[in-house]
Amino acid sequence: MRQALLLAFVVAALLFGCGGKKRARAAVAAPAPGVEFGLASWYGLPYHGRPAASGQIYDMEQLTAAHRTLPFGTLVRVRNLANERTVDVRINDRGPFAEGRIIDLSYAAARAIGLVGPGTIRVSLQVIAAPAVPVSGTYAVQVGAFRDRSNAERLRRQMEQRYGMARTILRQGDPPLWRVLVGAQPTLDGAKTLAGQLRGAGAEVFVVRVDSDRPADRI
């Protein structure tokens, strides 16, 4: 009995001593599975009323967005990390093709979370619903975008000689751009590996999804 009391006293003293010297560090919540962090931007005119990469007509007053790899029809929750406002958008376009940016929101979606003024903000993305109908496709690596098609074709030939498969894709816009895509990987991981090789060669690269049910000039 005396030993049990002594042991309890020692444990209590240790606990009290630790609490008196410093407060226990609060646990940090780990990111939820499938959450992506990065910069969001938005687009409106002159793309309003023009076909998006999915073939749908882009309406900047609808809650939609462009993403480089998520299948069309995916529903995504976008959270502004500065003010915690959220908006749910459906992916119907491809982009953005700028370093560090992970999603391009419609004007209406940007307005909902306070993005219109700043132009770019830090956000988190979380997929909340997959497309109702599975969409087939492959993944490629974009290595350049040019106003002049001859410049795009020159890079395409260089990439084709070194990596076996490359193509140019016209992206309608203001101005229109000829994008150069390398590879046709069946998995996202495979495309990321290829992107690493291309990045090592000094290219500014992005992994993009190529949807097989869309016209080639709308990828």
Q: What is the CATH number of the domain that holds 50?
A: 2.40.40.10
Structural domain for 204, as ranges: 137-218
Distance of CA 47 to the CA centre of its chain: 20
What residues contact 90, with CB distance under 8 A and at least 6 apart?
A: 63, 64, 65, 73, 74, 75, 76
Look up residue 46 and give its two tokens: 């002159």
Residue 60 domain-assigned (yes or no) = yes
Residue ending a domain, among 111, 129, 147, is 129
Is there a single domain that holds both residue 120 and residue 141? Answer: no
Residue 98 domain-assigned (yes or no) = yes
Residue ending a domain, among 78, 108, 129, is 129
Instruction: Indicate which CATH number applies to the domain containing 165.
Output: 3.30.70.1070
pLDDT digits (tens, 9 = 90+) for 89-140: 999 999 998 888 999 999 999 999 999 999 999 999 999 999 888 777 899 9
Higher pLDDT, residue 76 or 98: 76
Q: Is the pLDDT of residue 142 over 60?
A: yes
Q: Are 121 and 109 in contact, with CB atoms under 8 Å apart?
A: no
In angstroms, what is the C-alpha Rg of the chain?
24
Rounded CA separation 67/75 (Å)? 11
* pLDDT attached to residue 137: 85
Expressed in angstroms, the distance from the first to the final Cα of the chain is: 78
Rounded CA separation 61/175 (Å)? 22
What residues contact 158, with CB distance under 8 A and at least 6 apart?
A: none
Rounded CA separation 37/34 (Å)? 10
* pLDDT attached to residue 212: 65
pLDDT digits (tens, 9 = 90+) for 194-213: 999 898 766 679 999 988 65
Rounded CA separation 209/137 (Å)? 7
